[in-house]
Amino acid sequence: MILRDRILAQLRRRLADAELPLRLRFWDGVEFDFARAPSVTITLNKPAVLRQFLLGDIDRLGRSYVEGNIEVDGRLSDILAVGIALAERAGRSSTLSRLPRALAWLGRARKHSRSYDAAAISYHYDVSNEFYQLWLDRSMTYSCAYFRTGDEDIDTAQEQKLDHICAKLRLRDGERLLDIGCGWGGLLVRAARRYGISGVGVTLSERQYAFARERIAAEGLADRLEIRLQDYRDIPGEAAFDKVVSVGMYEHVGRRNLPLYFAAIARLLKPGGVLLNHGITTGNRDGEGQGVRSSFIERYVFPGGELPHISRVLYEMAGGGLEPLDVENLRPHYALTLLHWVRRLESRKARAIELAGPERYRIWRIYMAGCAYAFERGWLSIHQVLAVKPGRAGDAPRPWTRAHLYVPDDPAKLAAPPTWEGV
């Protein structure tokens, strides 16, 4: 085939010095290896995808993968390394240089109306509760876990994360907690069981809402916990809660709405009340608002998602009347969390496809693997920010140190942050 031979020759020239561990398998069974003993095999099921390799267009390659026109086999670390190398060396322009901002979903500001946000949340979270149960931990916590050694299983690491949040909030028996974007209710249940709070959780996902209500009833906590299908802008009241927590939710708010978001939280908190905001941030401050975005992420994963830099978070939080107390960067924790998730998804491939379809399986597999790589590289980050609503005298009770957050660790048991070797 003349076109295949021509494009293959161009790829060989552009990748000559890369020693890329890649095997290309074509729709008619012909194979070509770019190195000895290749660890990654890319199968092209249609001639049309040949040109995408020369363009180095990650979004178009991603779409072809989702649609089944490309199949990829190999270890995650090798697959992603090969994909990056193809984008950088085979592409006509440096796609890699734009990838950090693309992964950060930076693009045009969106209106983020109530109906728009509800539809976006439904698209991502209303896939199937059973689908998420396949690869999340037993508490159904869909956010960055917290590792003390790096050797914990995902169930233990997520329990540690929930307790880490509760410790930062200094939850006490009888306090009233608001969980904005409560997911499947895991944090509220643990806070009620272990720390004696009562609380309210809000979500825009109908499936999460139904699941969380059933869970709370089964736990015998219906008299202390309430789940609402409600937008954060519509939560009524003033000074109604002692503590507020938001985990993995503000990414859906939109940068233009951050002042509104933090002002709503300040309104709902009692004077001296505490907020813990846990969410993804972009690692590229200069990339904010420059119009670069990933159409793959926008189309298939998080429609409407927008990420600020941590500096923007702190600025808007303070502008909303909240005083930041503590900032913790958990970036290595999320890289490892995502690797746990994607391995569990791959190990349950057949059932995942049965529940959500082959396209959804491929989307989540490549999205989580790609995000793990982005967190490992520092293109994405994640921060927990603790803040207080100042009391009437301009002060609020707070601990003198962070000692309440930690127990002494044996240095010999501490592991280095995860790397991609051996993944």
Tokens of 308: 């600020």
User: Which band of pLDDT confidence, cut at 50, 70 and 90, is reported for residue 403?
Assistant: confident
Tokens of 113: 């109306």
User: Which band of pLDDT confidence, cut at 50, 70 and 90, is reported for residue 398?
Assistant: confident
Give a yes or no: residue 107 inside a domain: no
Same domain, 388 and 255: yes
User: Which band of pLDDT confidence, cut at 50, 70 and 90, is reported for residue 264?
Assistant: very high
Same domain, 284 and 139: yes
Same domain, 153 and 89: no
Quote the pLDDT of residue 239: 96
| In the chain, % of residues over pLDDT 70 | 77
First to last CA, the chain: 36
Give a yes or no: residue 65 inside a domain: yes
* H or E, element range at 53: helix 50-55
Same domain, 41 and 124: no
Quote the pLDDT of residue 28: 85
Same domain, 305 and 256: yes
CATH number of the domain where residue 87 is located: 3.30.1050.10
Give a yes or no: residue 266 inside a domain: yes
Give a yes or no: residue 406 inside a domain: no
Same domain, 267 and 124: yes
Same domain, 17 and 75: yes
Quote the pLDDT of residue 66: 78
Q: Which of 32, 62, 93 is the last residue of a domain?
A: 93
Give a yes or no: residue 251 inside a domain: yes
Written as one letter, the residue type at 8 is L
Same domain, 148 and 275: yes
DSSP string, 136-190: S-TT---S----SSS---HHHHHHHHHHHHHHHHT--TT-EEEEET-TTSHHHHH
Same domain, 12 and 135: no
Same domain, 379 and 231: yes
8 A C-beta contact, residue 102 and residue 87: no
Per-residue model confidence as pLDDT tens digits over 294-351: 555 556 565 556 889 999 999 999 999 999 999 999 999 999 999 999 999 999 999 9
Number of domains making up the chain = 2
Q: Which of 34, 59, 93 is the last residue of a domain?
A: 93
CATH number of the domain where residue 276 is located: 3.40.50.150
Same domain, 168 and 272: yes
Give a yes or no: residue 132 inside a domain: yes
Per-residue model confidence as pLDDT tens digits over 173-232: 999 999 999 999 999 999 999 999 999 999 999 999 999 999 999 999 999 999 999 999
8 A C-beta contact, residue 203 and residue 182: yes
Q: Is residue 371 among the annotated active site residues?
A: yes
Quote the pLDDT of residue 200: 98
Give a yes or no: residue 415 inside a domain: no
User: Which band of pLDDT confidence, cut at 50, 70 and 90, is reported for residue 90?
Assistant: low
Quote the pLDDT of residue 417: 56
| In the chain, % of residues over pLDDT 90 | 48
Same domain, 88 and 176: no
Give a yes or no: residue 400 inside a domain: no
Range of the domain at 331: 114-393
Per-residue model confidence as pLDDT tens digits over 110-120: 556 666 555 55
The total of other beta-carbon atoms located within 10 Å of residue 111's CB is 11
